[in-house]
Structure 1
Amino acid sequence: MFVRTVYATGDPALLDSALRALNSQGHDLLEERPGYRGAGVFVDRELGKLLTVSWWESEEAQVNSDEVMRERRPALLEPFAASVAVEHYRVAVFHALPRPVVGGGLRVARLEFDPRDADLLADTFHATALPRLETVPGLARTALLLDHERGRGIAGTVFTDRHTLAASRAALCAIRRSGTAKARATVVALEEFEVVHADAHTM
């Protein structure tokens, strides 16, 4: 599985216009692309941040969709977006529990690591972090996305509601601390978002 993320920032007052466009025209555009396996839309309404994540069954499907989405994205995000960053990742770990996610919260830890340690990071997340994450109340989904060449990654955890997201902060801090130490990775940013939409399916 492969993922494309789009990270946009802008005027919080204009965020809803971008959400309406993404949930209508944007959704239809993605559904038409071969190999599409779902998407997520996440927002920070207070600061004016928008994160979208689209899932693809192969790198070829992701690349083939890039040209179309590159042309249409500016119109979808106007007039909200003042800055837009697009990145591509390979899915190293994806784990979903049968719990609701819409209206919940997403925590994103952005990671940096030596590219030679990519397998170590994936193995550590799967064998060490994941079993501990499953014991945290309210966890609905978790994923590890890696850019092996650049040595960058995203560890995402989705919780069923904002209360359990907030209540999990201490537990996840402990999991990150031990996991990144073992995997020789560094957390370079930590963010939280509201879940607007999430329907990734890996099977």
Structure 2
Amino acid sequence: MYARTTTVRGDPRAVEDGVAFARSDLWPAIERMDGCIGMSMLADPETGRCVFTSAWANEDAMRASAGEIGELRRQAAEVLRAETVDIAEWEIAVLHRSRPAGDAACVRATWVDVPAGHVDEMVDAFRMTLLPRLEDLPGFCSVSLLVDRLGSRGVAAVTYEDRAALERTREQGTALREEFSRAMNSTITEVAEFDLAMAHLHVPEMA
């Protein structure tokens, strides 16, 4: 399964409008596309940064959606008064849910660069060593890992039940990230925290 992320750096004052647009226009349009298996939206109301992720049953479905998605992306960027838009395509390597994410859920996302040729090794280690420890963190709901094999990079998104749980786990999360990064000889390029503004995901368990 595959995913396309669109990162929009918009006006913080327009984030609520962006969330409303995603719910009323974006998701209904994407849901009808062949091979679509879900969509989520992460939002940072303080900076205006939003990440839209569409999930696809296979690479062909993701590629076939590019034209229609492009027009929807333009509309979303306009609503959010975006300064920049970044697009990336990924393979969904891991998805594990312990409990449903409610309306107050928040996400901590970590982007990493992986040594060339070691993406599979990183995915296996993530499943075997890091995932069980993340699952023990208070307020944990779910985790996903997306990888770009050609680019030798990945992004992990850990969802917590609310902002308080996100903040309580910040120190433990940092320690786990750094330990895993050292073991994998990978480089953490960014860590960011978001509200889970919307999630309609029908991706099966992949852990």
Q: Distance in 2 between matches of 1:127 and 1:54?
A: 26
Q: Distance in 2 between matches of 1:115 and 1:165?
A: 32
SS of structure 2 residue aligned to 1:53: strand
Please give the per-residue CA displacement for 1:71-97, whole angstroms capped at 9, x wherever unaligned: 232123214211100100001111011
Structure 2 match to 1:173: 174
SS of structure 2 residue aligned to 1:78: helix
Q: Distance in 2 between matches of 1:92 and 1:181?
A: 21
Q: Distance in 2 between matches of 1:60 and 1:123?
A: 25
Q: Distance in 2 between matches of 1:99 and 1:72?
A: 28
Q: Distance in 2 between matches of 1:51 and 1:124?
A: 26
> Superposed, which structure 2 residues align to 1:71-90 within 5 Å?
71-79=71-79, 80-90=81-91
Structure 2 match to 1:108: 109
Structure 2 match to 1:128: 129
The 4+ residue runs of structure 1 with deviation greater than 4 A are none
> Is 1:195 the equivalent of 2:179?
no
> Superposed, which structure 2 residues align to 1:14-25 within 5 Å?
14-25=14-25
Unaligned runs of 5+ in 1: none
Please give the per-residue CA displacement for 1:139-167, whole angstroms capped at 9, x wherever unaligned: 10101110000111101100010000110
Q: Aligned Cα RMSD in Å?
A: 1.2
Structure 2 match to 1:44: 44
Aligned length, in residue pairs: 203
Report if aligned partners of 1:101, 1:159 keep a CA contact under 8 Å in 2. no
Please give the per-residue CA displacement for 1:40-79, whole angstroms capped at 9, x wherever unaligned: 1111001111111111110111111111111232123214
Unaligned runs of 5+ in 2: none
Please give the per-residue CA displacement for 1:119-146, whole angstroms capped at 9, x wherever unaligned: 1110110001001011101110101110
Which residue identity does 1:45 align to in structure 2? P
> Is 1:158 the equivalent of 2:154?
no
Which residue identity does 1:75 align to in structure 2? Q
Q: Distance in 2 between matches of 1:101 and 1:95?
A: 16
SS of structure 1 residue aligned to 2:119: helix
- Could you tell me how far 1:102 is from its partner in structure 2? 2.8
Structure 1 match to 2:69: 69
- Could you tell me how far 1:171 is from its partner in structure 2? 1.2
Q: TM-score, normalised on structure 2?
A: 0.94
Please give the per-residue CA displacement for 1:90-113, whole angstroms capped at 9, x wherever unaligned: 011110112334321100001101
> Is 1:91 the equivalent of 2:92?
yes
SS of structure 2 residue aligned to 1:103: coil
Q: Distance in 2 between matches of 1:93 and 1:191?
A: 19
